[in-house]
Amino acid sequence: MPAAALLLAALSVLTAVPGDSSRAVVPDRADAPDRAAAPPLAAEVLDRARRVAESWPGSEAERIWRTGYYPDLAGETWLPKDFTPDGGAFAAFLGGRIDLAADFPPFSGTGTVSFPDGTSMTLPLTDPRAAYEDRVRYRDGCTREPCDTRLTVTAVRPGTHRQRTSRGTVTVPVWEFVFAGVDHPYAVAAVESQAPSVDYGVEDEDLPAGVTDVVLASEDEQGLEGMIEPENCADARPGEAYGTSEALVLVGRTTGRPRTCPGPYSYQYARFPFSGPLGERVVLNLAGRPVLFPELLPEG
């Protein structure tokens, strides 16, 4: 799994509703606490946003976004529905305290991704052993209470799951890990994204003070709302957007004034005004990574 996927998988594990890691849950919303006007964006930031927008049309990333398998990175794993944030099983899962008491199924061949337009795509299956090793690679002893619980994998089996992608909600093959004493399995996508490897975001240290990159975005009746995680936990201001006919690049803004972070994952929401309808434009962050995916459709 690429580094960006690992980071977003960890993000979804820590912040998502158990059983659905396709959508991050953010505890704090920043409603522009500083009403003073933000200074104009530096020329270097506008130039970066322009270059990101202009490089999208005709790129390999755009081709895959339109015609291939480009999943939302936060939705490549699915937690058991009966995990609870304060439960021992969840703590053991996060700490990598997982024992293996099952064989791995064969993984040669291909798996089928089925798209909502009726088309499908076959991709090579991944090794389920790699998914297990990813979970136990960083066994921490215990950094999250309670510490007296271990998980045991009693079965590893193929299955399917619904997943959010650039082309809507698809059915994707998964590897399911069954834990003793846990009613629902942990699932990992069994085929790899075709998306090109792109940095998760631009580091704050590489941007002017008061500018931060966007993690995720959502659309509602009022427009776009983006999730940011400024490294110095400065309060969010309304963001800005650089738009072309093909792409919208979001630029996160903060007051630039450091404050004490309330937790290890201190996310904030900010509004991003832009002119004209979004339409078919892709929404990117300053690293050139798409941050807005179609909503996951309900069952049925």
Domain boundaries, the chain: 28-68+198-284, 77-189
CA angle 89-93-96, nearest 5°?
135
Phi and psi (nearest 5°) for 215?
A: -90, -55
Residue labelled with tokens 């040669």: 108
Q: Assign 3-state DSSP to the chain and report helix, strand, coil percentages, each to 5.
A: 20, 30, 50
With contact defined as beta carbons under 8 Å apart, do 196 and 290 qualify?
no
Residue labelled with tokens 């899962």: 93
d(CA 268, CA 262): 11
With contact defined as beta carbons under 8 Å apart, do 102 and 153 qualify?
yes
d(CA 92, CA 129): 19
d(CA 146, CA 86): 8
d(CA 298, CA 116): 13
Using CA atoms, how far residue 17 sits from 84, 92, 103, 148, in Å, is: 9, 17, 29, 24
Decide if domain 77-189 falls under CATH 2.40.128. yes
Phi and psi (nearest 5°) for 41?
A: -65, 140
* HSE (side-chain half, CA atoms, 13 Å) at 68: 16
pLDDT at 249: 98
Measuring CA to CA, which residue among 42, 39, 60, 61 is closest to residue 50?
42
- pTM for this predicted structure: 0.84
β-strand partners of 270: 226
d(CA 271, CA 29): 10
pLDDT at 30: 46
d(CA 46, CA 241): 10
pLDDT at 12: 44
With contact defined as beta carbons under 8 Å apart, do 228 and 235 qualify?
no
Which tokens hold the place of 175? 């590897």
What H or E segment, with its residue span, contains residue 172?
Answer: strand 168-179
What is the SS3 assignment for 54?
helix
Q: What is the mean pLDDT of each run of 10 residues along the chain (300 residues)?
A: 40 41 37 63 95 97 97 87 86 91 92 96 96 86 73 97 95 97 96 91 95 94 92 94 96 94 84 89 97 83
